[in-house]
Chains A and B, each alone.
Chain A
Amino acid sequence: MGKNFKSLLVAAFSLGMMFFYNSSKAQDSVHHATEEHGKAEGGHATEGKFDVTKTILEHIKDDHSWHLWGHTSLPLPVILYSDKGFEVFSSSNLVDAHHEPAAYQGNYLYKTVEGKMKVVNADGSIDEAATKKVWDFSITKNVASLLFTVALLLIIFLSVANAYKRHGVKSAPKGFQSFMEPLILFVRDDIAKPNIGHKYAKYMPFLLTVFFLIWINNILGLVPFFPGGANVSGNIAFTMTLAVFTFILVNINGNKDYWKHIFWMPGMPVAMKIFLAPIELLGVFTKPISLMIRLFANITAGHILVLSLICLIFIFKSVFAATIAVPFAIFISLIELLVAFLQAFIFTMLAAMYIGMAIEEHHHHDDHEPHYHEPDVA
């Protein structure tokens, strides 16, 4: 008992330290941003006007390089396709010695403007017509982080799968297996089975993939240093991809009853059927859109909250503001740990619910009692 309590304390302390590190890290980079901004304002040095919105948006958006510490960044490959063909170069070419964006002569003269790749003229003005011809396939920070996550998930699940192959499914799980087994059973017993019904097995691979991909990306987004720190699940393109896959899966597997409930609602007067059809059809699209926005907004809002608390120090220009801001930021970070799990759970559960609604078999339409359709969950 005593030993357990002690290890719990150590765990809590290390977690606390981690978030302290987070905060101090964020301070460094905010300070850095202030300096930069001060320079841009025209040499007012560090006392220049501090733009909170700009600083925060800079931290949550995608980038062509991966910030490590201080003035050190990991350069990432830039892959561009234009009418002159493919070209690949390092993103370190796009910054000068003072870490300001610089122009690079490839097939065109490239420069990053607010993180976006633009074609510029010799005098520095943006050439919009030429920019439209360039397709950016770069391995950006988010893409690199996503690849890292994929590698991590493969290592975790292949090792666990091999353990099951070696010891069989009947024997007690060992080591890391005993950590993963309850999580996988949680997805099966609390998400898939109650929402989908007896045909759940077919959809388990999708649900497990979505659940663990979102969860691990959410957690890595909270880790402030190198392999983490990219705002992947707070990127609307990432959440849109997941939502589109859910949309395709739901509508491909939708049975006759599902489509009948959309276009010709049973148990309703004809006028009502005609009235309901466009609303139900709209519902087909609003469901994945709400999935997309919910995950994006929750994760982005969490990041913004932590960053704005840290920004308080620079708004008040006093180190004493840190005594309030840092504990609050730690508190919010701990809540975000819960949100990271909760959002993965909710996305998976809603996907399961939508699939369940699409493949549900209605046996009670033969009797002529009025049938009340359950309200849609948006």
Chain B
Amino acid sequence: MVVGSVAAIGAGLAAIGAGIGIGQIGKGAVEGIARQPEAANDIRANMIVAAAFVEAVALFAVVVALLGNG
């Protein structure tokens, strides 16, 4: 029998969402840099900021999962 908490499933779902989101950001950034290599620095900075936003949402879910567990 599998034992676990629903919170863990929630955290997993959030990780899937964040994975898709960060993947999209990476795709967009690489495409942008390939089109316009001279803008690479600006694109990279914006990519990191956008990735941090997506990551933060996943971490909100981790916190909720942690609280739900305790």
**Chain A residues in the interface with B (C-beta under 8 A):** 53, 57, 190, 290, 293-294, 296-298, 300-301, 342-343, 346, 349, 377
Contacts and interface: CB of A to CB of B under 8 A. Distances in A.
A179 B63 CA distance: 36
Given A53-B69, A298-B55, A298-B56, A293 B63 contact: yes
A297 B62 contact: yes
Contacts of A296: 63
A298 B59 contact: yes
Interface of B: 45, 48-49, 52-53, 55-56, 59-60, 62-63, 69-70
B56 A297 contact: yes
B63 A300 contact: yes
A96 B55 CA distance: 43
Contacts of B53: 377
Nearest to A338: B48
Q: In terms of DSSP, what is the predominant structure of the interface of chain B?
A: helix
9 contacts: A57-B70, A293-B59, A296-B63, A297-B59, A298-B55, A298-B56, A300-B63, A342-B48, A377-B53
Contacts of A298: 55-56, 59
Contacts of B52: 294, 342-343, 346
Q: In terms of DSSP, what is the predominant structure of the interface of chain A?
A: helix
A301 B62 contact: yes
B11 to A, nearest CB: 11
A343 B56 CA distance: 10
Nearest to A190: B45
Contacts of B69: 53
Given A53-B69, A290-B56, A294-B56, A349 B62 contact: no
A377 B53 CA distance: 9
Contacts of B49: 346, 349
Nearest to B51: A342
Nearest to A305: B62
Given A294-B56, A298-B56, 5 more contacts: A53-B69, A293-B60, A293-B63, A297-B60, A298-B59
A57 B66 CA distance: 10
Nearest to B48: A342
A342 B49 CA distance: 8
Contacts of B63: 293, 296-297, 300
B70 to A, nearest CB: 8
A300 B59 CA distance: 9
A305 to B, nearest CB: 10
Contacts of B48: 342
Contacts of B55: 298
Contacts of A300: 63
Contacts of A343: 52
A301 B56 contact: no
B39 to A, nearest CB: 15
Nearest to A302: B59
A120 B49 CA distance: 49
Contacts of A190: 45
B52 to A, nearest CB: 5
A294 B55 CA distance: 9
B42 to A, nearest CB: 11
Contacts of B60: 293, 297
A349 B49 CA distance: 9
B36 to A, nearest CB: 19
A301 B60 CA distance: 10
Closest 9 CB pairs of A and B: A297-B59, A294-B56, A297-B63, A346-B52, A301-B59, A301-B62, A298-B59, A293-B60, A297-B60
Contacts of A297: 56, 59-60, 62-63
Contacts of A301: 59, 62
Most B C-beta atoms less than 10 A away, residue of A297, A343, A349: A297
A343 B70 CA distance: 26
A57 B52 CA distance: 24
